[in-house]
């Protein structure tokens, strides 16, 4: 019975995956059929004084949206709101072009900072995540772009980033604080017993990984672009372990649309 259920789940996942691929393929083919009028929409940056909206799905989040404003043609800041399978999150995302030696090549920096009010699958503590990344990007004659780069992905409980009194060093304060001096000799104390559960809890307070991402964008019009990016989450040169504080999938997959107005 269990095997039959697993097969049904696998078939359903394959059907959904095939449908997504068909929709993406149809969209790209339709855009390529209009290449006589080459669109020049930038999926990444709104122009100075302009706005951009972005809608994505993928892994590990189910849905995420962003609004950003261009403070210049090379720098923008946006607000993010989205859902993972376990929790909602919101925050800021900075994007900047740090170098553009030619019309067909540029180097950009992207960095979201997201706050999660509480993880339902853990103990409900709020936590934060950041993912600064640097990419080299190439533009083709038909307006499409590809990029690749590296990044650092980190996540930690708020108590680790902003420790409060009595919650230092992983949120636990061990030891017996007795007055010391000539008239107050410290009494022998028994070393605190740290259980395996406490060690496991402390290990889950933060995580840091490196990423190697690559992506593709294609203008659908002068206002909208299709965007796709894959970013393996790694520990050095190997994919991250499923254990630890950030126990999500070892790959971040992003598929969606960006639009300017």
> Rounded to two decimals, what is the model's pTM?
0.71
- Across 59-68, 98-107, 212-221, 244-253, least confident range: 244-253
Nearest to 170 by CA among 194, 135, 149: 194
Rounded Cα distance, 148 and 143, in Å: 17
Percent of the chain with pLDDT over 90: 50
Burial tier of 220 (Cβ tally within 10 Å: 0-12, 13-18, 19+)? buried
The helix (run of H) or strand (run of E) holding residue 139 is strand 133-139
- Across 49-63, 88-102, 155-169, least confident range: 155-169
Q: How confident is the model at residue 90 (pLDDT cuts 50, 70, 90)?
A: very high
C-beta neighbour count of 90 within 10 angstroms: 13
Tokens of 95: 């994007």
Choose between 114 and 170: higher pLDDT: 114
CATH code linked to domain 39-163+197-260: 2.40.160
Tokens of 108: 């950009």
Would you say 107 and 134 are in contact if contact means Cβ atoms under 8 Å apart? yes
Nearest to 116 by CA among 67, 55, 69, 61: 61
Look at residue 187 in the predicted model and tell me its pLDDT. 54
Tokens of 201: 């809890």
Look at residue 28 in the predicted model and tell me its pLDDT. 57
Residue ranges per structural domain of the chain:
1-33, 39-163+197-260
Is the backbone of residue 212 left (phi > 0), alpha (psi -120 to 50) or beta? Answer: beta
Tokens of 75: 């720098």
Choose between 78 and 248: higher pLDDT: 78
- Across 58-72, 149-163, 232-246, least confident range: 232-246
pLDDT digits (tens, 9 = 90+) for 172-221: 444 444 444 555 555 555 555 544 434 444 455 778 999 999 999 999 99
Tokens of 198: 């406490």
Tokens of 65: 């949206």
């Amino acid at each position: 019975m269990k095997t039959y259920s697993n097969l049904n789940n696998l078939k359903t996942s394959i059907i959904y995956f095939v449908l997504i691929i068909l929709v993406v393929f149809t969209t790209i083919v339709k855009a390529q059929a209009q290449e006589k009028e080459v669109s020049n929409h930038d999926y990444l940056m709104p122009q100075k004084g302009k706005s951009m909206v972005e809608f994505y799905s993928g892994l590990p989040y189910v849905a995420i949206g962003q609004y950003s404003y261009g403070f210049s043609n090379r720098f923008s800041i946006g607000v993010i709101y989205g859902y993972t399978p376990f929790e909602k999150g919101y925050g800021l995302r900075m994007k900047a072009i740090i170098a553009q030696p030619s019309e067909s090549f540029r180097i950009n920096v992207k960095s979201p900072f997201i706050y999660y009010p509480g993880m339902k699958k853990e103990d409900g503590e709020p936590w934060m995540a950041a993912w600064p990344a640097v990419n080299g990007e190439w533009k083709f004659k038909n307006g499409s772009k590809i990029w690749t780069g590296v990044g650092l992905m980190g996540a930690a409980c708020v108590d680790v980033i902003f420790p409060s009194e009595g919650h230092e060093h992983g949120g636990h304060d061990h030891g017996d604080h007795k007055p010391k001096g000539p008239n107050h000799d410290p009494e022998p104390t028994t070393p605190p017993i740290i259980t395996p559960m406490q060690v496991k809890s402390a290990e889950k307070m933060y995580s840091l990984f490196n990423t190697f991402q690559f992506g593709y964008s294609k203008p659908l019009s002068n206002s909208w672009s299709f965007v796709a990016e894959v970013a393996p989450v790694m520990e050095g040169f190997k994919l991250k372990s499923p254990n630890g504080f950030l126990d999500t999938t070892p790959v971040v997959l992003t598929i969606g649309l960006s639009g300017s107005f």
